């Protein structure tokens, strides 16, 4: 057990890789394609259970990392394999391991083409995603960040829809452009550290320590450039308006499991990166550029909602709703209040669960009808009552109905923004209020596009004869949705266990950003569950 | 001029001697027992292995002086690391070409002998510390490669390739030789260490600048840097695939070795002396601009290619550009250890490029069929799952060329970008940013290879070719190399920078 807890994160990263190798070996010796999904499912479930061990200590150390492993990797450039987990990454790792088995089950009958490669790529993707959330060395982080592109590229390209090649290449190039500039910034940081202290390093904890203690200082313009280089990579990944155009294509063309993982986990890499690296490393630049990010986030919220409203394709509609939701996350983060940032983290988890669930549900109907056009449907509630129920609950969670998880996150973000002092406050107008109100309209739009879509798809009479013979959800599909629905309700009424774990890490980042604002430390109000 | 002890030392040139003797033996054997491809190939491989062992023996720690032969031959990490690249490239090329030599019925003995002579030339180019030795190495290499490019005598494209390569290569050699003559005229010496001492003189003659400019032109041709790159696509497309792989990996690395030696060691940074610093400043600036142009031209043109070999030709131009980034970094390095690290980075970059490139050409040789007929992108449509081993390996090489983490290409890129950023010079920073943007551009055409293999459907029939054992060995070595250098690159770099580069060591 000691071995497991000492190397827990490494195990979580390596197990999927070994699993993928095992799958290939299994296929070479037994040639039983129908075993593959069972083996993959078993591997991902084991990984999920293992990841629950993180709850033992993860996020409980104030400002520190648990399950740390730090061994030299390439000594010539002083880069180390340094991993660890804190309150910020803890839930994202568990979200990743939780969503994987669900994604695997969702593909139970959907993948007929090349199942071996499909499951192997899914496992490799999982390894890269966990790696992103736990890396504490910038070069290793970059490595996983890039490595996550390749399996997803193949997943979209081989198992995607009609326009898959365009979507896959666009996905890859958009993300690669941003992350390469981040690489330059990472190497630049290395040299600044070398000039300041004599030792170059990619280690995040060391860099942060040097910046906090003032040993490593850079001019405001350098800080801005570095911040932008990092933020560009993450904004594309989030995606923040106007870098979002890859998202609808990738989501629409990806196979269901790919869309679920893309929405649930891959997008979170962007927001996670901003919070983990951008804020603590470049707090001054973060504050200086916050208004721009807030404006872009609000544009994203409203624009995403408006465009979602007119989509004829359900999956595309959900994809655009992601743009709007991730806008909320960005807004909360850049409010630099505990409410806002905790809410942003919580909303990341919510979005992962709700949007993941929506993509699953869209996948269910697509498997039955092989179309996602809203106009093809109508009155589905009559033939698939259970499906309709699940869909409405999930949509409500996405809209932010009280007692469901989406409400908690959006509410906290809006309180955070309202209380924030990041935007100008003049005698006549407090721009923080304006920003909150503008974002609030996004919630209304979300209700509009989702409810309107539900009305057109589920209610009324069955207009299309093809829909009459549809069967309701199978036990497998129900089993798939139950944990997600349970979490939507649980996280909606009892967010405390989640927020308690993440508070220390988030407050540390928040204080770090606020403290440098000319000494005006904002009172960090503790809050109870609303 | 007084006579000095030439300090003859055979051990220091043991690898060169072994390769040259093997080459002669192979050639003679082929005269008496022609068409014994298997035997000449094996003999060549044994020779290369022996040379590799001799390098391992004289690796730092052995009893070899830092320089010998009157300072004409040096023994430092620049020589050692590049020699490793050359021997690896030569051995892999022999293995790859077994397929092709049989299929096309090319005279095996001649081919192997030529390859060995080319390797001899490359080794000499990296160990020579004297302009004449370097030129000798270069010519031995070039003449052998001209012939190899045209080995497929009945094929017009191959002839065209050899002809173009010969004419333009000779032109480049002429520039080089003229440059060397001018440098000699300006400094009165052919020895690079002494040139460095002369170049540090604040009143060096302006002739040196002209000579250096000529050398830039000559080497620019040899490494295919823009604007001297135009010969590359035609030559690479026309030459037989294994030779193309060889030309892009071996001779290019050799040209880089001499280029590095003459410029970085011969025209070093001179602190405090404005006039002398001007020489270093001029060539680093010129090369930085050339690096940006080379990367951009290579990558943008590669996007538009429909032939895989042409695409890889432009990609090799782009890679010369990335290597130049590290080169310029070495040129402006503030301390000797930084400079040595930057040179080791360029050597590592060439090694990582060689592995991925030869691996790709091995697969393309196999899939290309006779006369390289099947080398359009369309010919690769949908073969992904019909031949998973070949396609996934080729994809891996593409990702390594692209520089994705966990592959050799990534570590190589990080290493060459590092010295350029270290200099903290605006132009060099711009150069690195240009390199990064270019990497993103290159994603398009490297991914295209994966796209056609895996995402497109195939309309016509396609039978997976049998993978001969020699080629399987190449694929195994290159795949392991790609991952090993990408994950454990540390060990290689450490070995590549063990013997300090002899700059002040003059044996006269």
Which of A19-23, A382-386, B480-484, B492-496 tops mean pLDDT? B480-484
Q: Which of A156-160, B46-50, B270-274, B496-500 has the least mean pLDDT?
A: B270-274
**Does B455 contact A168 at a Cβ distance shorter than 8 Å?**
yes
Among residues A252, A261, A395, the alpha carbon closest in space to that of A319 is found at A252
> A150 vs chain B: nearest CA distance in angstroms?
9
**Does B454 contact A154 at a Cβ distance shorter than 8 Å?**
yes
Q: Which residues of A touch B432 (CB under 8 A)?
A: 184, 187
Asked if residue A140 is part of any domain, the answer here is: no
Mind listing the pLDDT tens digit for each residue in A213-247?
878 877 888 888 889 989 998 999 888 888 888 88
According to DSSP, the residues that pair with B128 across neighbouring strands are: B73
Q: Are A26 and A39 in contact (CB under 8 A)?
A: yes
Q: Compute CA B160 distance to the chain's CA centroid, rounded to the nearest angstrom.
A: 23
pLDDT at B357: 92
Asked if residue A60 is part of any domain, the answer here is: no
Mind listing the pLDDT tens digit for each residue in B364-409?
888 877 666 777 888 888 887 888 888 889 999 999 999 888 889 8
**Does B432 contact A168 at a Cβ distance shorter than 8 Å?**
no
Interface membership of A142 toward B (CB under 8 Å):
yes
Dihedral over Cα of A274, A276, A281, A287: its sign: positive
Among residues A170, A185, A268, A259, the alpha carbon closest in space to that of A224 is found at A185
Return the percentage of chain B with pLDDT > 70, whole number. Answer: 93
- Residues counted in chain B: 508
CA distance B332 to A55: 51
Per the listing, tokens 């993860």 go with A58
Q: Give me the interface pTM, i.e. the ipTM.
A: 0.82
Q: What is the DSSP letter of B499?
A: S
CA distance B369 to B463: 12
Q: Which residues of A touch B482 (CB under 8 A)?
A: none
Nearest CB to B490; choose among A75, A157, A191: A75
pLDDT at A283: 85
Instruction: Look at residue B492 and tell me whether its pLDDT is greater than 60.
Output: yes
**Does B440 contact A172 at a Cβ distance shorter than 8 Å?**
no
Mind listing the pLDDT tens digit for each residue in B18-31?
999 999 999 898 88
- As a whole number of angstroms, the longest Cα–Cα distance in chain A is 76
Nearest chain A residue to B419 by CA distance is: A191
Q: Which of A142-146, A197-201, B200-204, B233-237 has the least mean pLDDT?
A: B200-204
Per the listing, tokens 């030339």 go with B121
CA distance B266 to B274: 17
pLDDT at A505: 83
The whole-chain average pLDDT of chain A stands at 84
Instruction: Look at residue A307 and tell me whether its pLDDT is greater than 70.
Output: yes
**In the structure, what pLDDT confidence band is assigned to residue B501 with cuts at 50, 70 and 90?**
low
Q: Which of A353-357, A376-380, B162-166 has the least mean pLDDT?
A: A376-380
> B139 vs chain A: nearest CA distance in angstroms?
36
Could you tell me the two tokens for B340? 């040595």
**Does A188 contact B385 at a Cβ distance shorter than 8 Å?**
no
**What are the residue ranges of helices labelled H in B74-206?**
77-104, 108-127, 131-149, 156-187, 192-199
**In the structure, what pLDDT confidence band is assigned to residue B506 with cuts at 50, 70 and 90?**
very low
Mean pLDDT of B312-323: 91
The whole-chain average pLDDT of chain B stands at 85
Q: Which domain holds residue A377?
A: 296-530
Q: Which residues of B touch A157 (CB under 8 A)?
A: 450-451, 454-455
Query: What three-state secondary structure class fits B9?
Result: coil
Instruction: Look at residue A526 and tell me whether its pLDDT is greater than 60.
Output: no
**In the structure, what pLDDT confidence band is assigned to residue B477 with cuts at 50, 70 and 90?**
very high
Per the listing, tokens 């692209």 go with B402
Nearest CB to B493; choose among A76, A114, A195: A76
Q: What is the CA radius of gyration of chain A?
A: 22
CA distance A516 to A283: 7
Could you tell me the two tokens for B7? 């300090």
pLDDT at A69: 82
Query: What three-state secondary structure class fits B73?
Result: strand
Asked if residue A373 is part of any domain, the answer here is: yes
pLDDT at B333: 81
CA distance B210 to B187: 12
Instruction: Look at residue B90 and tell me whether its pLDDT is greater than 90.
Output: yes
Could you tell me the two tokens for A363? 């996948």
**In the structure, what pLDDT confidence band is assigned to residue A528 with cuts at 50, 70 and 90?**
very low
Nearest chain A residue to B491 by CA distance is: A74
**Domain count across chain A:** 1
pLDDT at B56: 83
- Three-state DSSP string of A418-477: HHCCCCCECCCCEHHHHHHHHHHHHHHHHHHHHHHHHHHHHCCCCCCHHHCCCCCCCHHH
CA distance A427 to A411: 27
Q: Which residues of A touch B332 (CB under 8 A)?
A: none
Q: Are B319 and B414 in contact (CB under 8 A)?
A: no
Asked if residue A402 is part of any domain, the answer here is: yes
DSSP string, B150-170: T--TT-HHHHHHHHHHHHHHH
Mind listing the pLDDT tens digit for each residue in B272-299?
555 566 788 888 889 999 999 999 999 9
Q: Are A256 and A110 in contact (CB under 8 A)?
A: yes
Query: What three-state secondary structure class fits B172?
Result: helix
Asked if residue A396 is part of any domain, the answer here is: yes
The angle at the Cα of B348, spanning A189 to B426, to the nearest 5 degrees, equals 40
> A41 vs chain B: nearest CA distance in angstroms?
24
**In the structure, what pLDDT confidence band is assigned to residue B504 with cuts at 50, 70 and 90?**
very low
N-terminal to C-terminal alpha carbon distance within chain A: 39
- Mutation target to probe the B interface, by most B beta carbons within 10 A, among A158, A160, A180 is A180
Nearest CB to A173; choose among B417, B440, B497: B440
CB contact burial A376-400 (16+ within 10 A = b; e otherwise): bbbbbbbbbeebbebbbbbbbbbbb
Instruction: Look at residue A38 and tell me whether its pLDDT is greater than 50.
Output: yes
Question: What is the dihedral angle through the alpha carbons of A273, A274, A279, A284, rounded to the nearest 10 degrees?
Answer: 140
pLDDT at B508: 31
Q: Which of A27-31, A189-193, B62-66 has the least mean pLDDT?
A: B62-66
> A105 vs chain B: nearest CA distance in angstroms?
24
Asked if residue A24 is part of any domain, the answer here is: no
Could you tell me the two tokens for B119? 């390797």
**What are the residue ranges of helices labelled H in A459-526?**
475-493, 496-515
Asked if residue A335 is part of any domain, the answer here is: yes
Interface membership of A527 toward B (CB under 8 Å):
no
Helix (H) or strand (E) holding B360: helix B336-368
pLDDT at B505: 38
pLDDT at A62: 60
Instruction: Look at residue A463 and tell me whether its pLDDT is greater than 90.
Output: no
Instruction: Look at residue B436 and tell me whether its pLDDT is greater than 70.
Output: yes
Mean pLDDT of B442-468: 83
Instruction: Look at residue B471 and tell me whether its pLDDT is greater than 80.
Output: yes
Compare A382 and B18 and report the one with higher pLDDT: B18
Q: Are A324 and A298 in contact (CB under 8 A)?
A: no
Among residues B67, B242, B258, the alpha carbon closest in space to that of B177 is found at B258
Interface membership of A246 toward B (CB under 8 Å):
no
Which of A104-108, A344-348, A430-434, A439-443 tops mean pLDDT? A344-348
- Mutation target to probe the B interface, by most B beta carbons within 10 A, among A176, A194, A230 is A176
Could you tell me the two tokens for A191? 């040299």
CA distance A288 to B23: 67
- Mutation target to probe the A interface, by most A beta carbons within 10 A, among B443, B457, B497 is B443
Per the listing, tokens 């002839």 go with B159
Nearest chain A residue to B398 by CA distance is: A150
Asked if residue A98 is part of any domain, the answer here is: no
Instruction: Look at residue A525 and tell me whether its pLDDT is greater than 70.
Output: no
């Amino acid at each position: 057990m000691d071995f497991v807890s000492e190397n827990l994160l490494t195990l979580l990263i390596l197990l999927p890789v070994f699993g993928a190798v095992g799958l290939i070996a299994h296929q070479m010796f037994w040639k039983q394609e129908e075993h593959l999904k069972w083996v993959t499912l078993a591997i991902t479930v084991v990984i999920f259970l293992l990841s629950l061990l993180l709850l033992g200590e993860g996020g409980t150390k104030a400002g520190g990392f648990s399950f740390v492993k730090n061994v030299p990797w390439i000594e010539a450039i002083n880069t180390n394999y340094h991993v660890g987990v804190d309150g910020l990454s803890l839930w994202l790792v568990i979200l990743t391991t939780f969503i994987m088995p669900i994604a695997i089950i969702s593909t139970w009958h959907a993948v007929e083409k090349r199942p071996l490669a499909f499951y192997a790529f899914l496992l490799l993707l999982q390894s890269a995603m966990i790696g992103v959330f736990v890396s504490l060395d910038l070069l290793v982080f970059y490595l996983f960040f890039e490595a996550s592109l390749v399996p997803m590229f193949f997943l979209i390209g081989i198992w995607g829809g009609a326009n898959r090649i365009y979507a896959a290449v666009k996905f890859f190039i958009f993300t690669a452009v941003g992350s390469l500039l981040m690489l330059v910034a990472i190497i630049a940081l290395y040299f600044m550290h070398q000039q300041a202290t004599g030792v170059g390093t990619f280690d995040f904890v060391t860099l942060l320590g040097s910046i906090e203690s003032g040993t490593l200082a850079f001019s405001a313009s350098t800080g801005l450039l570095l911040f932008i280089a990092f933020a560009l990579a993450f904004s594309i990944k989030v995606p923040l308006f106007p870098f979002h155009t890859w998202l609808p294509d990738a989501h629409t063309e990806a196979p269901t499991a790919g869309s679920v993982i893309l929405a649930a986990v891959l997008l979170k890499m962007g927001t996670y990166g901003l919070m983990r690296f951008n804020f603590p490393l470049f707090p001054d630049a973060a504050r200086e550029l916050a208004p721009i990010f807030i404006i872009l986030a609000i544009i994203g919220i409203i624009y995403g909602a408006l465009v979602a409203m007119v989509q004829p394709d359900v999956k595309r509609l959900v994809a655009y709703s992601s743009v709007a939701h991730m806008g909320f996350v960005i807004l909360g983060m850049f409010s630099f209040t505990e409410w806002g940032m905790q809410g942003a983290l919580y909303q990341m988890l919510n979005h992962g669960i709700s949007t993941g669930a929506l993509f699953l549900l869209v996948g269910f109907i697509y498997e039955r009808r092989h179309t996602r056009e809203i106009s093809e449907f109508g009155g589905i509630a009559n033939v698939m009552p259970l499906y309709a129920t699940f869909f409405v609950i999930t949509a409500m969670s996405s809209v932010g109905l009280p007692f469901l998880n989406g409400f908690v996150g959006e509410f906290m973000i809006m309180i955070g923004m309202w209380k924030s002092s990041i935007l100008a406050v003049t005698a006549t107008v407090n721009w923080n209020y304006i920003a909150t109100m503008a974002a609030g309209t996004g919630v209304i739009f979300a209700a509009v596009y989702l409810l309107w879509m539900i009305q057109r798809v589920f209610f009324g009479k069955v207009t299309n004869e093809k829909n009459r013979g549809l069967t309701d959800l199978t036990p497998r599909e129900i089993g798939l949705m139950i944990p997600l629905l349970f979490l939507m309700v649980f996280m909606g009424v009892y967010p405390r266990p989640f927020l308690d774990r993440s508070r220390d890490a988030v407050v540390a980042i928040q204080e770090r950003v606020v403290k440098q604002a000319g000494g005006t430390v904002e009172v960090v109000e503790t809050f109870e569950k609303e | 001029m007084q006579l000095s002890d030439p300090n003859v030392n055979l051990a220091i040139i043991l690898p060169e001697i072994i390769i040259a003797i093997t080459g002669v033996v192979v050639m003679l054997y082929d005269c008496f027992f022609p068409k014994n491809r298997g035997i000449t190939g094996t003999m060549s491989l044994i020779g290369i292995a022996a040379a590799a062992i001799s390098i391992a023996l004289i690796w730092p720690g052995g009893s070899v002086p830092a320089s010998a032969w009157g300072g004409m031959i040096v023994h430092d990490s620049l020589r050692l690391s590049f020699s490793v690249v050359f021997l690896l490239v030569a051995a892999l090329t022999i293995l790859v070409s077994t397929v092709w030599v049989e299929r096309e019925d090319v005279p095996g003995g001649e081919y192997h002998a030529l390859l060995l002579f080319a390797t001899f030339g490359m080794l000499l180019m990296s160990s020579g510390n004297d302009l004449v030795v370097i030129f000798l190495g270069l010519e031995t290499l070039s003449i052998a490669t001209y012939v190899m490019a045209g080995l497929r005598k009945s094929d017009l494209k191959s002839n065209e390739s050899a002809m173009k390569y010969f004419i333009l290569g000779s032109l480049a050699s002429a520039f080089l030789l003229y440059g060397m003559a001018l440098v000699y005229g300006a400094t009165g010496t052919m020895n690079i260490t002494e040139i460095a001492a002369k170049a540090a003189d604040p009143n060096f003659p302006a002739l040196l600048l002209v000579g250096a400019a000529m050398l830039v032109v000559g080497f620019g041709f040899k490494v295919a840097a823009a604007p001297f790159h135009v010969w590359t696509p035609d030559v690479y497309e026309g030459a037989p695939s294994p030779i193309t792989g060889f030309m892009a990996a071996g001779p290019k690395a050799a040209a880089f070795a001499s280029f590095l030696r003459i410029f970085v060691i011969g025209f070093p940074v001179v602190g405090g002396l404005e006039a002398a610093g001007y020489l270093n400043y001029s060539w680093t600036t010129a090369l930085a601009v050339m690096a940006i142009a080379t990367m951009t031209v290579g990558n943008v043109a590669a996007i538009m290619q429909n032939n895989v070999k042409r695409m890889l030709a432009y990609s090799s131009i782009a890679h010369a550009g990335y290597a130049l980034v590290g080169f310029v970094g070495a040129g402006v390095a503030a301390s000797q250890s930084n400079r040595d690290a930057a040179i080791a980075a360029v050597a590592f970059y060439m090694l990582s490029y060689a592995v991925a490139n030869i691996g790709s050409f091995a697969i393309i040789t196999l899939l290309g069929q006779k006369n390289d007929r099947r080398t359009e992108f369309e010919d690769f449509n949908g073969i992904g799952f019909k031949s998973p081993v070949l396609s996934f390996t080729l994809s891996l090489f593409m990702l390594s060329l692209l520089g994705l983490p966990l592959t050799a290409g990534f570590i190589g890129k990080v290493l060459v970008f590092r010295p350029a950023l270290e200099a903290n010079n605006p132009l060099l920073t711009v150069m690195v940013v240009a390199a990064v943007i270019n990497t993103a551009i290159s994603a398009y055409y490297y991914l295209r290879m994966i796209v056609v293999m895996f995402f497109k459907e195939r309309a016509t029939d396609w039978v997976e070719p049998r993978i001969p054992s020699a080629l399987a060995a190449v694929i195994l070595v290159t795949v392991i190399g790609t991952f090993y250098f990408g994950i454990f690159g540390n060990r290689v770099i450490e070995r590549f920078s063990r013997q300090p580069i002899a700059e002040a060591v003059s044996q006269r």
